[in-house]
C-alpha cells in the first residue's frame, strides 16, 4: 500500500480516519471533498450535500449526469442506494438540529482558540458563508481540513483577523504537517506527519501551541472500520 505524498492527500487520508461506520457526514467543497476518495464503498457512511441530498455518491460517468442532481458546489454527483432528496429547510434542520455527525470544512484561518474563519477576505474575496455557519454551529463534530500555510503565511494563527464563521471552537484541525485539538488552554499538538518534527511545525505556525505527552505520527494507512 502506498502512502499519500501530496499535502492535500495527506490531509484527506488522515481526516478519513475520523469517519466511522454509520455516520452522516458533510464534506465542504474543495479539499474536504477529497476525503470521500479515501473511504471504501462499503464504509457504511452517508454523505450529505446541504443543498438537499443524503446519500451523495461519486460523480457519474460522462453522459450519465442528471441535471437535477448536484452537490453544494454545483458539481454533478450520483445518489447511492438508500439516498433521500430533501428541500433546503429540511437539510438545514438536519444540520442545526444536531442530526449531522460530522462536518469537514476548509479554512482560511483557524486561531489558538479553535475558531474558524472561512467565508470572506474583506475587500478581496467575498464568496459568502453558504452553509458553513450553520454547519459549524450545528454539526456534532467539526473538523478543519486545510493546508498549513498559504503564500508562505501560516493559516494557524494566534487570533483570526478575518471574519469568523462561528465562535464555537472546532474539534480537530488537520494539516499536512500536524493534527491539533483546540482546548480551553489553547491548541494541543496531537500528531505529526511522517518525517515532520515539532520544530518544523513551530517554524510554520503563527499560533502558539501546547506540546505535552505522547505525540503520535499521523495514521495514513487505508481506512478500516
Partner 1 sequence: MGVGTPNRIIDALVARGAKDLEIIANDTAVPDVGIGKLIAANAVRRVVASHIGLNPQTQEMMMSGEIEVELVPQGTLVEQIRAAGVGLGGFLTPTGLGTSVAEGKEIVTVGDQDYLLEQAIWAEFALISAKNCDYVGNLEYSLTAHNFNPVMALAGKTVIAEPEHILPVGAIPPDSVKTPGILVDHILERASK
- Name which position in 138, 144, 157, 220 contacts partner 1 (CB under 8 A): 138
Interaction between residue 7 and partner 1 (CB under 8 A) = no
Question: Binding to partner 1 by residue 158, rule CB under 8 A?
Answer: no
Nearer to partner 1, 33 or 205 (CB): 33
Give Cα 81 to chain centroid, integer Å: 25
Return the residue matching grid coordinates 452522516: 24
2 binds partner 1 (CB under 8 A): no
SS (H, E, C) 147-193: CCEECCEECEECCCCCCCCCCCCCCEEECCCEEEEEECCEEEEEEEC
Among 9, 23, 51, 200, binds partner 1 (CB under 8 A): 51
- CA 38 to CA 6: how far, in whole Å? 14
Least separation in angstroms between CB 68 and partner 1 = 4
Cell of 177: 504537517
Does the active-site annotation cover 50? yes
144 interacts with partner 1 by CB under 8 A: no
Q: Does residue 131 interact with partner 1 by CB under 8 A?
A: yes
Half-sphere exposure of 86 (CA within 13 A, CB side): 18
- Judged by beta carbon, residue 61 or residue 195, the one nearer partner 1 is 61
Q: Contact with partner 1 (CB under 8 A): which of 113, 121, 133, 210?
A: 133
Q: Does 212 bind partner 1 (CB under 8 A)?
A: no
Those residues whose C-beta lies under 8 Å from the C-beta of residue 46, and which sit 6 or more positions away, are 23, 24, 25, 54, 55, 56, 80, 82, 83
Which positions touch partner 1 (CB under 8 A)? Answer: 49-53, 66-71, 73-74, 79, 85-89, 92, 95-96, 119-120, 123, 125-134, 137-138, 163-167
Residues belonging to the active site: 50
Amino acid at each position: 500500500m502506498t502512502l499519500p505524498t501530496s499535502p492535500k492527500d495527506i490531509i484527506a487520508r488522515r481526516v478519513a480516519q475520523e469517519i466511522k461506520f454509520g455516520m452522516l457526514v458533510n464534506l465542504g467543497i474543495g479539499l474536504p471533498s477529497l476525503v470521500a476518495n479515501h473511504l471504501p464503498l462499503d464504509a457504511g457512511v452517508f454523505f450529505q450535500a446541504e443543498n438537499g441530498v443524503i446519500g451523495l455518491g461519486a460523480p457519474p460517468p460522462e453522459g450519465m449526469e442528471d441535471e437535477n442532481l448536484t452537490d453544494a458546489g454545483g458539481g454533478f454527483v450520483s445518489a447511492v442506494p438508500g439516498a433521500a432528496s430533501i428541500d433546503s429547510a429540511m437539510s438545514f434542520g438536519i444540520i442545526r438540529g444536531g442530526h449531522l455527525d460530522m462536518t469537514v470544512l476548509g479554512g482560511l484561518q483557524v486561531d489558538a482558540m479553535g475558531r474558524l474563519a472561512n467565508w470572506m477576505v474583506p475587500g478581496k474575496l467575498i464568496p459568502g458563508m453558504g452553509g458553513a455557519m450553520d454547519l459549524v454551529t450545528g454539526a456534532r463534530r467539526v473538523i478543519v481540513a486545510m493546508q498549513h500555510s498559504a503564500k508562505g503565511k501560516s493559516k494557524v494563527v494566534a487570533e483570526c483577523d478575518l471574519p469568523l464563521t462561528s465562535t464555537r471552537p472546532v474539534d480537530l484541525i488537520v494539516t499536512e504537517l500536524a493534527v491539533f485539538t483546540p482546548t480551553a488552554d489553547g491548541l494541543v499538538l496531537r500528531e505529526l506527519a511522517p518525517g515532520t518534527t515539532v520544530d518544523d511545525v513551530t517554524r510554520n505556525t503563527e499560533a502558539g501551541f501546547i506540546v505535552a505527552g505522547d505525540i503520535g505520527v499521523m495514521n495514513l494507512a487505508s481506512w478500516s472500520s
